[in-house]
Copies of this chain bind each other. A is one copy, B any other.
Amino acid sequence: MDSTMVIRALGALSQEHRLAAFRLLVQAGGAGMPAGAIAEKLGLAASSMSFHLAALANAGLVTQRRQSRLIIYSANYDVMNALMGYLTENCCGGVPCTTEEMCCPPPMPTAMTCKKDVA
């Protein structure tokens, strides 16, 4: 993940309604939610919601799939997981910490998707 992608992902999440929508989708898991349901839950006009969901999708934070007339959005956990890794890269100049306490966070699991939803 390069800096451009990181900036787009962070920028997408740094907005009240987009952050709320993303959290909603994280909690919804692999089942996801249709655009209309998200808009209703957040009290936003459909056009505004569409605008924000497009921003999240553009950043790779959510994926969309059509199911009949609905467009279902789901969180893409992998992209979010890549953020912290980028931010903490070469933490403290890469100098290994001398104590048993860690300096940098450990890598996160690459697969955060609920198996039950994938099945």
Residues of A within 8 A of B (CB): 3, 6-8, 10-16, 19-20, 22-23, 26-30, 77, 80-81, 83-84, 87-95, 97-99, 101-106, 108-109, 111-117
Of A14, A16, A26, A81, chain B has the most CB atoms within 10 Å of the CB of A14
Instruction: Find A102's partner among B19, B89, B109 (CB 8 Å cutoff).
Output: B109
Q: Interface SS of chain A: helix, strand, loop or mixed?
A: helix
Distance (whole angstroms) from the CB of A89 to the closest CB of chain B: 7
Q: Nearest-CB distance from A114 to chain B (Å)?
A: 4
B27–A87 contact, CB under 8 A? no
Residues of B within 8 A of A95 (CB): 29, 114, 116
